[in-house]
Chains A and B, each alone.
Chain A
Amino acid sequence: MTVEEALLQKGAYEAGHFDVLVVGAGHAGCEAAVAAARSGMRTALFTLHLDSLANLPCNPSIGGTAKGQLVREIDALGGLMGEMADACAIQTRMLNRSKGAAVFSPRAQIDRSRYSRKMKGMLERIDGLEIRQGEIVKLLVDQESGTTCICGAVTRSGAVYTASAVVVCSGTYMQSRIIMGEVIIESGPDNLFPSIGLSGSLADLGLPIQRFKTGTPVRLNARKVDFSRMEIQPGEDDMPPFSFVHEMNDLRPVRTQMPCWTIWTTDETRRIIRDNLSRSPLFSGTIEGTGPRYCPSIEDKFVKFKDKERHQVFVEPMGEDTCELYLQGMSTSMPEDVQIQMVRSLPGLENAVIQRSAYAIEYDCIDPTALFPSLESKSVAGLFCAGQINGSSGYEEAAAQGLVAGINAVRFIRGESPFILDRSEAYVGVLIDDLVTKGTQEPYRMMTSRAEYRLFLRQDNADARLTPHGYRLGLISEARYMLFKSKQAAIEAEIKRLRQTVLPPSDALNALLISRSSTPVSSGVSMADLLKRPEIKYKDLHTVDTNRPKLNEAITFTVEVDIKYEGYLKLEKQKIDKFKALEVRTLSLNTPYEEIKGLRIEAQQKLSKFRPISLGQASRISGVSPADVAVLLVYLDAKKRSAARNG
């Protein structure tokens, strides 16, 4: 539909022009809108409900394995999520401390309602950004010299907006329905309105629609819970904050850490589930959407892992002002009456009072392979999609995409080349590349094992990897950039110092080594070489390291890992260089794949349809074999050579 046609509809009116319209004010939409507005674009952000901006409809937490890395990356690029999470954290912990540095993952319990309120107040104060409650029901397009271009959107109440770019971040709301056992309700999460019509409009514009599902557990009142039967899980006072600025100022965001608790399901829980399986919509066939494998409902878990007698459940606070508790691990789509029995079968919850029921939710999303790595649609110029609409799941995954889509909407309007992070630079790059290149058959969740270059993509060096990008994009202030540079300089200096400081063999040193079951030394040894021993920690060496400068922990952490992993990082780096060599070989969008001899027919079809932007991306498309890639390489070579011959 064009703007003119839209204005002919009953009740329609011209509501004005914006550079960027962002549809949806979840985690993706908020990042996109702020990135656009801060880049000087007049931006409007729409939401179905203004009091649930950046809502956390499920777990009241941000971060965790792989997700914590994403938050640090968003922050390093100049996004919102890190600072917001710090400001609303009620408990913080660094997960995986017993494992390697690459999987150290910050996680925070979040005061859910404070998060929404703060986000609202923040957005309201940004120049050039208007936030608006209203449902977008249709996207408007124009034909410009053969290509379809976005040109605006219409709300349910008839407002017709024109715009140069539109970012759709509609989350789990499109044609959504909530399912509890036999009960089905047309609704978005948290009894919010569903979004009706938008997915049809997207389908009309050539974006393929899929149907996914996800679920959430019950919420309880803490006053009827017997915590003495649970294992307490306190926060860590010394977890560094998500945000770089807070980190460099040594700010610890949480004043008083609220504890979480852990319990295990009982035989009774198992029995209740088994007895009522037939009433679960998952097994009775009511649910058509595909759910996430990595975040299954409790009934799923009992069915899939038959031998496992019990599963762990986390009891987490929802906020400081509320007694509401969240039961992580007990997500279910069982009927309400079964839910009550299940919850009461858990230790300490015998008298539990449920405040909100668990439910499964089904929603429309798009097949993300319809997008370029910039998150722009392949069929409509200027239309971007980000967040759960792209088949992902999770707040952090959504925010990361929102930020990239916002940045690229701006670059699109300015006629600049898209901002694309590759798989060796960031989890953000891995996430988007996975989605747009491989697509997804189920809600996609970030995991560290999805990253080939995991040793590089750590939470501690997210700033080193991405802040220069953020600065170049105008999302990092001059002052912060200077602070960043001084941190990097300090890291370099300390690494150099440790390489150059040679400790003579002394009784003190050897006693220390022996106490760590490390081989004593008989000749001088550099501190860096000592640190390379897996059993020796930077902290251990302070007694023998007499000239040690006083450094922020964020600095010494990176110093230690970079030295310890030096050899391994070098190996990964060699692989990254090879990987990049294919990424930089760009494929023109109108490469005549049908005419390239040697490509298998299947590959020709796949490639023509897919239109990869680089040889690297082509190599990851399913159905394109390494042999096909070799053919493309030789083809590009021959093209270059014949151009050279002719020219």
Chain B
Amino acid sequence: MTNDLPFCAPATPPGVGGISVIRMSGRYAIAVADRIFCVLRASDSAVKSVADMPGYTMSFGRIFEPGSNRIIDEAVLSVFRAPHSYTGEDMVEISCHGGTAVRQEVLRVLCENGARPADPGEFTKVAFLSGKIDLTQAEAVMDIISAESAEALRVSEIQLLGALKNEIRAISEKLYDIFAQLEMLVEFEEEDEAITRNQAELRLRDYLDRLSTLEDSYAKGRLLSEKMTVVLAGVPNSGKSSLLNRLAGYDRAIVTPIAGTTRDTLEVSTSIRGVPVRLIDTAGLRETADEIERLGISRAYDAAKEADLLLWLVSSADCATDDGEPEWIQSHFSQFEEVANIIGDRRLAILISKSDLVNEQQAERMLDSIVSAIQSGGLGEKIRFSGVVSAYTQEGIHIIVDAVKDIYDSTGMTGQSELLLMNNRHFEQIRKAKDKVNQAIISLSDQTPTEVSCSLIRLAMDDLGEITGDSVSDTLVDTIFSRFCIGK
């Protein structure tokens, strides 16, 4: 039966890093690995083949194609034996060299020797099926996998520990309590102990607040799970690409003295002080007849729209004037205006770049004059940060780092022991529940019959139950596992 075949997939994303990990799980995983892997060195000299390997051990050896004995790669192979593995089944993990070609080769020999490619999320699905994790844990696993920074991981762990579940359950229980009492009003003629509609309304308002707090926390949770978007913008040659390379830590973007080098937006993921960030470099903005460049510029505007933080770079070279009084070139200001108008308030950092070309006082004067030009142009409220930076000397990099942290900290609620919603599905459920609680409050305040309020509260509880796993629906399970990618 096909279902008995072990399934395999790469566990590391394509194209990154020097090592690729390929996972395989299933009853015959060890047998399949045995066919294509020859052990060269193992922890114990008694181990001659994969089949000999005890659980939780590794061997060094070669992956080869059984028919031709052609060697595909040298690799390290780890064995996990059921039930002590992630999936609860026998599992093998092969760490080979990272190139896409090698990876494809290894997967191919595995599949030609008794394995099959995994479905999306299948590893976690099997882990869930063997009782290793429950549904909400599976979901949190997903969040951890996609969490690329320490901060995101911390919040995801809280979820694993069930703090979110507890808060939602607590709210649900309170809702149930009101629901049950309102039911008495509906069902029976006169019931002395039942609450009045008025009291119910007041209490619902409290729970609405608690739901709102959770809802609001998503603004921040989303930054963690989906990353904060930081966009570098400015006229050509202002040093955007150089700064991106500096922040990313490696030369991602092409840098030349030619104005108009960057033609398309370009993205790097990184983490700044624990906050996951999407850094976007954009084409320098200017009037141009070049069709390709124009397209690139319109993409720059699209990126600006999504910016949680926009770094507007003004090259110190562009401000220097003969008399020493800095001044902003008129066309540069109108480019700036266009961008400033599409970003949110207090999302902007004005940075004088290439500060190493001028002295400190000059740089400061330039900054002052530009900031006051912006203020008198009526766009002052957009500015949140300003400073002087150099991609060469790294001067002022801390300003950007602080800005990222500041935006992160001020998004959503600010408490320390925070419960964050990071998951879009949870957020949607909370929103639905909140909306119903809100409608229930309204229904209690006018002449709408109590049976309607009851219906709304009942539905709100169902919405919440789908987060905590206290109620399941047909679609829920699919939704959760389809979010996983292959290999997880």
A residues within 8 Å of B by Cβ? 65, 99-103, 308, 447-449, 452, 454-455, 534-535, 565, 568, 571-572, 575, 578, 581-582, 585, 597-598, 600, 615, 619, 626-627, 629-631, 633-635, 637-638, 641-642, 645-646
**20 contacting pairs across A/B (C-beta < 8 A):** A65-B187, A99-B449, A100-B186, A100-B450, A102-B449, A103-B187, A449-B454, A455-B452, A534-B443, A571-B456, A572-B455, A575-B462, A578-B475, A581-B474, A626-B465, A626-B472, A627-B135, A634-B128, A634-B477, A642-B1
Q: Which of B282-306 contact A (CB under 8 A)?
A: none
Contact A572:B459 (CB < 8 A) given known A581-B475, A626-B472: yes
Q: Chain B 447-488 against A: per-residue CB contact (8 Å), 1 yes, 0 no?
A: 111111011101100100100011111111110010000000
B458 touches A534 (CB 8 A): no
Interface of chain A: mostly helix, strand, loop or mixed: helix
| B473 touching A582, Cβ below 8 Å | yes
Chain A residues near B481 (CB-CB < 8 A): 634
B472 touches A630 (CB 8 A): yes
Most A CB contacts (10 A, CB to CB) among B128, B443, B450 go to: B128
Min CB distance, B91 to chain A, in Å? 15
Which of B119, B192, B456, B469 sits near A308, CB closer than 8 Å? B192
Min CB distance A570 to B, Å, is 11
Question: Closest residue to B463 on the A side, CB-wise?
Answer: A575
Beyond A449-B186, A634-B125, is A99–B477 a contact (Cβ under 8 Å)?
no
Does A100 contact B451, Cβ atoms closer than 8 Å? Answer: yes
Contact among A454, A534, A633 for B474, CB-based, below 8 A: A633
Bound form: Cα–Cα A447–B454 in Å: 14
Does chain A have a CB within 8 A of B2? Answer: yes
Closest B-chain residue to A580, C-beta based?
Answer: B474
Chain B residue at minimum C-beta to C-beta distance from A571: B459
Evaluate contact between B448 and A534: CB separation under 8 angstroms. Answer: yes
Residues of chain A within 8 A (CB-CB) of B135 are: 626-627, 630
B456 touching A535 by the CB < 8 A rule? no
Cβ of B452: which chain A residues have Cβ within 8 Å of it?
Answer: 100, 455, 565, 568
**CA of A633 to CA of B187, assembled, Å:** 35
Given contacts A600-B131, A634-B477, contact A575 B186 (CB under 8 A): no
- Chain B window 120-163, contacts with chain A (Cβ cutoff 8 Å), 1 for yes, 0 for no: 00000100111100110000000000000000000000000000
* B129 with A454: CB separation less than 8 A: no
Q: How far is the CA of A101 from the CA of B452 in the complex (A)?
A: 10
Q: Does the CB pair A598–B129 fall under 8 Å?
A: yes
Chain A residues, Cβ within 8 Å of B186: 99-100, 103, 448-449
Say whether B3 faces chain A, with CB atoms less than 8 Å apart: yes
CA distance A534 to B448 in the complex (A): 5
Cβ of A100: which chain B residues have Cβ within 8 Å of it?
186, 449-452
Complex contacts, B323 vs chain A, CB 8 Å: none
The 6 A-B pairs at the shortest CB distance, nearest first, are namely A100-B449, A581-B474, A100-B451, A534-B447, A598-B129, A642-B3
Contact of A633 among B131, B450, B455, B472 (CB under 8 A): B472
CB pair B187–A535 under 8 Å, yes or no, is no
Q: A455-B452, A634-B129 are in contact. Are A534 and B472 (CB under 8 A)?
A: no
Is B436 in contact with chain A by the CB < 8 A criterion?
A: yes
Closest A residue to B468 by beta carbon equals A626
A585's contact among B187, B449, B451, B474, by CB below 8 Å, is which?
A: B474
Bound-complex Cα distance A455 to B471 (A): 21
Contact B474 A455 (CB under 8 A): no
Smallest CB separation, B138 vs chain A (Å): 9
Smallest Cβ-Cβ distance to A584: which chain B residue: B474
B482 to chain A, nearest CB (A): 11
B183 within 8 A of A: yes
Give the residues in chain A near B475, CB-CB below 8 Å: 578, 581
With A535-B447, A597-B129 known, 6 other A-B pairs at CB within 8 A are: A102-B449, A449-B187, A572-B459, A581-B473, A598-B131, A638-B3
